[in-house]
Homo-oligomer: A and B are copies of this chain.
């Protein structure tokens, strides 16, 4: 059991869910503290029936804590989290800043728990679109080695923060009543539209979001030979990312074998009955901590190929749940 957990970024879109999960899952810790930027510091929140005052995040705020769960923008994570490590805390970070750094563990508890247990410094939680994909890939990789992945995403606005979903709903309302709306979180209108760009251009015509899906996948699975071709697209869905995934494995995996592998793997639930229109939908996976898989079928363009559809709550398993699960894993091994 941890003595004192510091929840950093406690008021953000993901931080709110971290708090809820720590309550729901009865996280093994004696005390909890909640930290945020100076703007939110001093305000009150209720946790497990008790009132807490939000403290200001500073470089010397970590003394007395033994676990930090941080959900902040990249620049905040870069600036403050090394101080938490120096103060002797275990540090779980949900930002993108540390994930690919040398010596930082990048962990999905169902996939590579040992990396979290071996970590000397920061333990990073992967990008939301990567987490659900890699959880789905892991049982296939163990069984038949994943060689190549082609993935097109259908990503929710909640991935762009609270303003992303405000833009979706307010922009949709404005559109439906013939009014103008100025989008704040997106370069183009997201209401009733698809935007084939998430993040800036990084290299070779791919965006930062897309290349996360390549490099983070390799790091988590510990296999730099895996090829990934991602297309990351924002769609007018408030929450839950969907992914159309085609995988090539070293030996063929039949849809039946894939279904059995998925069903036997922790954290995955299969919903797959096309004749009865049953498959995962953002609307039905919202609020769940699992990764859902359906439309499992042979890739009819490749004898070693398999295609499927994958949906998960990007704020939960894609962020908050994964971080809290890392914390639970560390607690069990204290």
Contacts and interface: CB of A to CB of B under 8 A. Distances in A.
B233 A244 contact: yes
A235 B154 contact: yes
Q: Which of A154, A172, A194, A301 has the most CB of B within 10 A?
A: A194
Contacts of A288: none
Interface in A118-172: 148-150, 152, 154, 168-169, 172
Q: Taking the full assembly, how many copies of this chain does it contain?
A: 2
A242 interface: yes
Contacts of A280: 196
Interface string A268-309: 000000110101111100000000001111111110010101
Nearest to A165: B192
A195 interface: yes
Interface in A174-196: 176, 187-189, 192-196
Given A152-B244, A205-B295, A235-B154, A193 B282 contact: yes
Contact of A187 (B233, B238, B277, B302): B277
A237 interface: yes
A196 B229 contact: no
A218 to B, nearest CB: 12
Q: Which of A189, A283, A309 has the most CB of B within 10 A?
A: A283
Interface string A297-333: 1111110010101000000000000000000000000
A236 B233 contact: no
Contacts of A154: 154, 194, 233, 235
Interface of A: 148-150, 152, 154, 168-169, 172-173, 176, 187-189, 192-197, 200-201, 204-207, 214, 227-229, 231, 233, 235-238, 242, 244, 246, 255, 274-275, 277, 279-283, 294-302, 305, 307, 309
Given A148-B302, A172-B176, A231-B307, 18 more contacts: A148-B301, A150-B301, A152-B152, A154-B235, A169-B176, A187-B277, A188-B277, A192-B283, A194-B235, A194-B237, A194-B281, A197-B277, A201-B274, A227-B300, A228-B301, A229-B246, A229-B305, A229-B307
9 residue pairs, one from A and one from B, having the closest CB atoms = A205-B297, A227-B301, A152-B152, A152-B244, A229-B301, A231-B244, A187-B277, A201-B274, A196-B309
